[in-house]
Structure 1
């Protein structure tokens, strides 16, 4: 080894750390520092004068309270059918969106182009990402982070009409890839909004399908059960379309005779069936694990009475059901 070479395993000799810095190196260090300060200042300025980064107010709120706010928004909203899908029409300019594993509560909605809306964003369980992308140009996007325990109010307006996709861009669990929602920006005729106090379904099953029961209101319930009495077998789809996505039991409520076998067939992913209540003497266990499309579970109902059940991750969307044995 020559005198100019040193072993990396040996300490260098002399005051190597106290040597004069080369002038060229000093120039580059100065340029780098000035560039970093200017970029940091540009970022601060852009949040004030730019149109890309959203700020808005943030409030501490319990997840249960924010869930109630989203349910109130849904109950007071009107509805509009667009391309065969029923969308919510906000009662005013406030839009409440709750994120949960693995769905968007409060979507889909229809918004008017050019109108400013206040989006109230919050999470029910874990951290989620709120990514909004127009259908025709996926390179344009809004990317925000939503945390449980906080309500973030962000003003947004959309000039381009069309469908906008809402995805979670923060990994939030095994069903992360299925977390998808939409809203539509278009002009439309006035729609009646506001809560209706004459909802005939409120009294059914002690209000199980309303927001007074566990989770959110069940929009897929029409007010009366499907009559399947006299049949030896009945099929209930798990994860059918309803309640703003694949978050329904179909039929939502079914009336059967004692001794009928009900086949629960999964038609979409990441659902379970938990028993809320059942008649005395019944021993239905439900399905606690999250199962995917193609899974099935069969049970014969002998004890007469009402069996209430729900999907744990999507109960906030109103994914609840009833088997009534007569």
Structure 2
């Protein structure tokens, strides 16, 4: 038996192929062209295909847009959770490792909204799923450096989960968000906070140089109300890492705490994929924070000896406003 690697004898290339083979080759070619044309037509006329304008945008500019959207939005409390209420029909969502900046939100059924989607870091998937009907879902891709503007409307009230369907790192599994589609009484919506940035207009007890606003690094810290928790005189103080706030488990609790010199502060993880990085500290201080990403159950502590203000943040969720302060007096 000849090897399949051995060339056939004679001028086999010039021989005519069987008529049946010609027919099947012709059918295959026509079908391939038909499918190609079908895809082009379906992209143009198919109502379920997501199209829309795409703009090049820097990470800083995209973050500014999302923070501006959040500052102008009202809030509605549903089952004890605060949700953003868009000021108009534009909804801005920034994807980041590993969360959704601009969510959770509440939308009205049947209303058409313009979703502005973008990424702060790497490629993410934007998959929206109706919690009560998994056949109702869309899956999109979000690329860094671009703002994708899409029109969407949701006829069925309910909870719509937003998950990342593109592996984006070790915290991928925790990247969840949501929005509610429901009718609501406009009188129940709280207006934007004075100053429009989610913080109190006078900065409360301390503004720490605007650290908790969207004018500093990252987003505005929604769970900071201007109050610094007074723990002076305590030997041990605990700060929860990954507490509920800023649209999910993206908060330090308390966000600002005042302690005496020599106080030991323990940082305890209540949720996954967080770290503690130092933004600034007093001259002569030696706090290194904790750079590694850790999960629920982890903790570390530091004894603060040098007086002054220590600003810190969670790197993966800085855009969500996950920032904190330890003030040593």
Q: TM-score, normalised by structure 2?
A: 0.95
Task: Tell me which residue corresponds to 1:136.
Answer: 132
Q: 2:7 pairs with 11, 32, 41, which one?
A: 11
Whole-Å separation in 2 of the counterparts to 1:119 and 1:300: 46
Aligned to 1:227: 230
**Structure 1 residue 170, shift from structure 2 partner:** 0.8
Residue 200 of structure 1 is matched in structure 2 by 202
Other-structure match for 2:309: 306
Deviates more, 1:25-34 or 1:305-314: 25-34
**Cα distance per residue 1:121-177 (max 9 Å; x no partner):** 000011111110100122321111111111000000000000001111111111111
**8 Å Cα contact 1:216-1:316 kept in structure 2:** yes
User: Residues of 2 paired with 1:264 and 1:192: CA distance?
Assistant: 32
Does the aligned pair in 1 maintain the 2:75–2:192 contact within 8 Å? Answer: no
Stretch deviating more after TM superposition (310-319 or 30-39): 30-39
Q: Is 1:315 aligned to 2:318, yes or no?
A: yes
Determine whether 1:281 maps to 2:284.
Answer: yes
2:98 to 88, 99, 102: 102
Q: CA deviation at 1:80?
A: 0.3
CA deviations on 1:64-115 (whole Å, 9 max, x unpaired) are 1001100000111000011221100001000000011111110000000000
Structure 2 residue 259 is matched with structure 1 residue 256: yes
Q: What is the aligned residue count?
A: 322
Question: What are the ranges of 5 or more consecutive residues in structure 1 without an aligned counterpart?
Answer: none
Offset of residue 13 of structure 1 = 1.8
Q: What SS does the corresponding residue of 2:26 show, helix, strand or coil? A: helix
Sort the Cα spacing of 1:260 and 1:192 in 2 relative to 1 into closer, same or farther, 3 A. Answer: closer
Gaps of 5+ in 2: none
Deviation by residue 1:23-76 (Cα, 9 ceiling, x = unmatched):
212222222222222222222222222221110000011111001100000111
CA RMSD in angstroms, aligned pairs only? 1.4
> Helix, strand or coil: the match of 2:2?
coil
**Superposition map of 1:1-326 within 5 A:** 5-190=1-186, 191=189, 193-194=191-192, 196-197=194-195, 199-201=201-203, 204-326=207-329
Q: Contact 1:88–1:107 (CA<8 Å) still a contact in 2?
A: yes
Indicate conservation of the 8 Å contact 1:91/1:194, yes or no: no
CA displacement at 1:281 relative to structure 2 = 1.3
> In the aligned structure 1, how far is the partner of 2:276 from the partner of 2:192?
32
Partners of 2:235 and 2:99 in 1: how far apart?
Answer: 35
Q: How many angstroms apart in 2 are the aligned matches of 1:179 and 1:15? A: 62
